[in-house]
Amino acid sequence: MRFVVSGRSMEPAYFSGDKLFASGIIYKLRKPKTGDVVVLRDPRSERLVLKRIRKIDGGKYFVVGDNEGRSTDSRKFGAVPRGSIVGRVCFKYSG
């Protein structure tokens, strides 16, 4: 799936306007792991957001933005279930 970054929560790795491709197929082959950058559904609004998996605990994923001072993430809304994760970022593209 295509995803366009909105906001500053993942700076300096990803900037607002960056175009990314995320794949959910990879998680049919393996489980999400710490360090993966993922597109997920914000549990408060169902809006798609970009975060990094910080830790995994009891089948739930604690996700954070790289720019922690500018990120609303699991520190605010709690760990998310596997079903909230749409896919892992595979690459950035232009066009």
Residue position matching structure tokens 């699991």: 74
pLDDT mean across residues, the chain = 96
> Domain 2-93's class?
mainly beta
pLDDT at residue number 95: 65
Instruction: Give the pLDDT confidence of 39-68 residue by residue, as tens digits.
Output: 999 999 989 999 999 999 999 999 999 999
Domain boundaries, the chain: 2-93
DSSP element (H, E) containing 2:
strand 2-4
